[in-house]
Chain A
């Protein structure tokens, strides 16, 4: 039995109710952050959070603690019980997840789990040294995340994940470039190569100028596409969003909304991503087709939204942590099918005249139902002329309808990249998007920001 599962079993034994569930989330991690050429804000975390849920007469209460002594768990149990006593009965409560067969997944690597703070710092140093004269800003991080869930109804499951990410912005007052790499095997993350990619990109951004606002054809690197799809997924790939009619798929499932080259799914079991066996309710994770060759095919569900949907809808294993649950389920493992293009240069040829976008910044959903999202480009924006990546551009404000971006897609690359999408708020829960670069016929620029550089 894993240490986390042992804590979960002790926690449910400490509480009393018609049904009790404990979810244990343990993190051991190190993040060596650097700026200019120095490591700063190094953070080592060793923590465990126990989330207890108690059900009494249809009333649900919960509590959380990081005190895992018998006394600490008893106190948490008392608070969860008191919370249930004080809660009104919830007629929509679907019950706690019962025992089920969990999928076997990869996602744990001994070498990654064994990385010491010193070795994390050495990898950060490798990135710093590889960027040359430019300043480097970013981090190397690795960690071990243990998840376990146990219930008085017989539910019992545990998983241990590893992850490692190197992220580098290379730049000075006049240039900036970005790159990152992530994997559940630290050996596949080469911080020096990441830094070289960022520095090479930065060197090409000097003198970036403005362009007129308007609709452009564009190439989006995986860094940019992954973030755009993540924000689109908040409402559109979310079963609760579908029920609440804020999803762009509302009333349109089964319709051809996108270019037939576009297929997107959630692939939580794929070892090319950061695989996970069960969600935060203890339900087994399942792959879910979201867009199938341009057709709006599905959304992800948790237990509450699936029960509300009725008609035999079942959870797909996409519940989020309790504090985020009012917003619905979330696809933590987005995966975009590859295309036929051999490189981003080939995508630029398909675009002909347009813009090339490396990375996005500070996205916000403007109109969820229409899939309208705004944000900025940064750290590597270029003009595409005559089918080739040409002169650098300033950071550009875009305001796009994602369905329009995906409506005409001249191509996608064969090669895909796992892009880390965790900013490591709260407890560590590594997740990312596996995606290619994509060419689009419609990317709307609505303003011009600052020139490249820090």
Chain B
């Protein structure tokens, strides 16, 4: 990552082994073990009062998987390091992302966070019932929206899957003793499922729990994401670009914020490029985009295919009072959205 303008470089690796024993008075006895490994690299460049950062494979501490040390080898941090340093330095000379309503193509890493914030949290049924109102917030969804609410375009298919190989939200049983499973959350753009506990599932008369997780022995289980995926569509990344005469491609999260009902969001990314006549053009810095959840997902007109689909885990999902931090994974392929506001200015 060495470069004359790169002032700070950092690399992080993490490894965790967890042993968990759940015993309940209604007969559950579950003993589970899991191993997580992950890591990432960052380069911060600065010159003449401009500061830019580039990360790999993702920002905010890298990516993790329920896997052994081989995952670190697969990430290839040393292989990607020269590119990360060069791009951090190049951003110093890039133009600022302009303000415009335009076509936006989002890479899989940023789209994973978009999915996390604007789908994963609002489908937590405890939030819908208000138990997180004072802190994390509630949801724009209502219990009777199931089966009828249009969440996004017909290309939007989302699943919650606590059996995904290597997922940080993968287990045999959740922290209420409910077996892991895969279930549809959004099918063809229509809301089909919530993340539930046994108690909230009974209240709504749908679902069977399976999403209760505690981050430590001294915290109570809460409804949490497990592994939440945007199912792939078809075609390649280049195919996404091919239908764009004039747009923006964004990559790697830098900032994130969403309102208490998970409607109004604003994300910033580390890097962007113009899309000109179906090809990537100039690098842009300080890219941001903003929108309202159902309208945004409704504007999605293409999702790349299985060959572009990536799974990554994050370890900083906060919820609850006292606070708890969950480890969850998301899979997504790059996708294209029409008519998105980019370039929010202070």
Query: With A45-B322, A366-B268, A374-B266 given, is the CB distance from A395 to B130 under 8 Å?
Result: no
C-alpha gap A131/B263 in the complex (Å): 27
At the interface, yes or no: A244 with Cβ under 8 Å from chain B?
yes
A139 and B134 contacting across the interface, CB-CB below 8 Å: yes
Tell me the residues in window 166-190 of chain A with beta carbons closer than 8 Å to chain B beta carbons: 167-169, 171, 176
Smallest CB gap from A451: residue in B: B261
At the interface, yes or no: B206 with Cβ under 8 Å from chain A?
no
At the interface, yes or no: A12 with Cβ under 8 Å from chain B?
no
C-alpha gap A141/B286 in the complex (Å): 40
Query: With A41-B220, A400-B346 given, is the CB distance from A425 to B318 under 8 Å?
Result: yes
Residues of A within 8 A of B7 (CB): 244-245
B324 and A425 contacting across the interface, CB-CB below 8 Å: yes
Distance (Å) between the CB of B19 and the closest chain A CB? 14
At the interface, yes or no: B69 with Cβ under 8 Å from chain A?
no
C-alpha gap A36/B133 in the complex (Å): 9
Residues of B within 8 A of A423 (CB): 135, 318, 321-323
Smallest CB gap from A246: residue in B: B51
Residues of A within 8 A of B324 (CB): 425
Query: With A45-B218, A364-B255, A397-B259 given, is the CB distance from A245 to B51 under 8 Å?
Result: yes
B321 and A361 contacting across the interface, CB-CB below 8 Å: no
Which of A135, A361, A448 has most chain B Cβ within 10 Å?
A361
Stretch of B42-50, B79-87, B157-165, B169-177 contacting A (4+ beta carbons < 8 Å): B42-50
Tell me the residues in window 25-70 of chain A with beta carbons closer than 8 Å to chain B beta carbons: 29, 31, 33, 35-36, 40-41, 43, 45, 47
Distance (Å) between the CB of B149 and the closest chain A CB? 15
B44 and A246 contacting across the interface, CB-CB below 8 Å: yes
Contact pick for A374, options B50, B131, B255, CB 8 Å: B255
Distance (Å) between the CB of A29 and the closest chain B CB? 8
Contact string, B115-149, partner A, CB cutoff 8 A, digits 1/0?
A: 00000000000000111011101101000000000
At the interface, yes or no: B276 with Cβ under 8 Å from chain A?
no
Query: With A137-B130, A364-B257 given, is the CB distance from A449 to B264 under 8 Å?
Result: yes
Distance (Å) between the CB of B213 and the closest chain A CB? 14
C-alpha gap A250/B48 in the complex (Å): 11
At the interface, yes or no: B10 with Cβ under 8 Å from chain A?
yes
Query: With A35-B133, A397-B264, A446-B344 given, is the CB distance from A424 to B257 under 8 Å?
Result: no
At the interface, yes or no: B34 with Cβ under 8 Å from chain A?
no
C-alpha gap A364/B60 in the complex (Å): 13
Tell me the residues in window 359-375 of chain A with beta carbons closer than 8 Å to chain B beta carbons: 361-370, 372, 374-375
At the interface, yes or no: A236 with Cβ under 8 Å from chain B?
no
C-alpha gap A372/B255 in the complex (Å): 11
C-alpha gap A454/B288 in the complex (Å): 28
Query: With A33-B321, A137-B130, A395-B260 given, is the CB distance from A47 to B218 under 8 Å?
Result: yes
Contact string, B305-346, partner A, CB cutoff 8 A, digits 1/0?
A: 000000000000010111111000000000000000000111
A36 and B257 contacting across the interface, CB-CB below 8 Å: no
At the interface, yes or no: B290 with Cβ under 8 Å from chain A?
yes
C-alpha gap A372/B323 in the complex (Å): 26
Tally inter-chain residue pairs, CB-CB below 8 A.
154
Query: With A361-B260, A425-B318 given, is the CB distance from A168 to B344 under 8 Å?
Result: no
Distance (Å) between the CB of A368 and the closest chain B CB? 7
At the interface, yes or no: B203 with Cβ under 8 Å from chain A?
no
C-alpha gap A400/B134 in the complex (Å): 24
Residues of B within 8 A of A159 (CB): none
C-alpha gap A450/B142 in the complex (Å): 14
Residues of B within 8 A of A144 (CB): none
At the interface, yes or no: A399 with Cβ under 8 Å from chain B?
yes
C-alpha gap A137/B138 in the complex (Å): 11
B318 and A450 contacting across the interface, CB-CB below 8 Å: no
At the interface, yes or no: A151 with Cβ under 8 Å from chain B?
no
C-alpha gap A40/B318 in the complex (Å): 18
C-alpha gap A364/B316 in the complex (Å): 14
Number of interface residues of B (CB under 8 A): 47
Tell me the residues in window 225-266 of chain B with beta carbons closer than 8 Å to chain A beta carbons: 254-261, 263-264, 266
Tell me the residues in window 62-80 of chain A with beta carbons closer than 8 Å to chain B beta carbons: none
Contact pick for B286, options A365, A367, A397, CB 8 Å: A367
Residues of B within 8 A of A138 (CB): 134
At the interface, yes or no: B3 with Cβ under 8 Å from chain A?
no
Distance (Å) between the CB of A375 and the closest chain B CB? 5
Query: With A40-B131, A246-B44, A450-B259 given, is the CB distance from A424 to B321 under 8 Å?
Result: yes
Contact string, A135-157, partner B, CB cutoff 8 A, digits 1/0?
A: 10111010000000000000000
Contact pick for A362, options B129, B138, B222, B260, CB 8 Å: B260
C-alpha gap A18/B219 in the complex (Å): 38
Smallest CB gap from B47: residue in A: A245
At the interface, yes or no: A417 with Cβ under 8 Å from chain B?
no
At the interface, yes or no: A401 with Cβ under 8 Å from chain B?
yes
A447 and B266 contacting across the interface, CB-CB below 8 Å: yes
At the interface, yes or no: B23 with Cβ under 8 Å from chain A?
no
Contact string, B1-36, partner A, CB cutoff 8 A, digits 1/0?
A: 000000110101000000000000000000000000
At the interface, yes or no: A92 with Cβ under 8 Å from chain B?
no
At the interface, yes or no: A378 with Cβ under 8 Å from chain B?
yes
Tell me the residues in window 252-306 of chain B with beta carbons closer than 8 Å to chain A beta carbons: 254-261, 263-264, 266, 268, 286, 288, 290
Residues of A within 8 A of B44 (CB): 244, 246
C-alpha gap A47/B318 in the complex (Å): 21
At the interface, yes or no: A312 with Cβ under 8 Å from chain B?
no
**19 A-B Cβ contacts within 8 A?**
A29-B322, A43-B219, A43-B220, A167-B134, A176-B133, A251-B49, A361-B260, A362-B137, A364-B256, A366-B286, A366-B288, A369-B46, A374-B255, A397-B290, A401-B346, A428-B322, A447-B290, A449-B264, A454-B133
Q: A397-B266, A425-B323 are in contact. List 13 more A-B contacts (CB 8 A).
A: A33-B321, A245-B46, A365-B255, A366-B288, A369-B46, A374-B344, A376-B260, A395-B264, A399-B344, A399-B346, A425-B322, A447-B266, A449-B264
Residues of B within 8 A of A (CB): 7-8, 10, 12, 44, 46, 49-51, 129-131, 133-135, 137-138, 140, 218-220, 222, 254-261, 263-264, 266, 268, 286, 288, 290, 318, 320-325, 344-346
Q: Which 3 A-B pairs have the closest CB atoms?
A: A424-B322, A425-B323, A449-B264
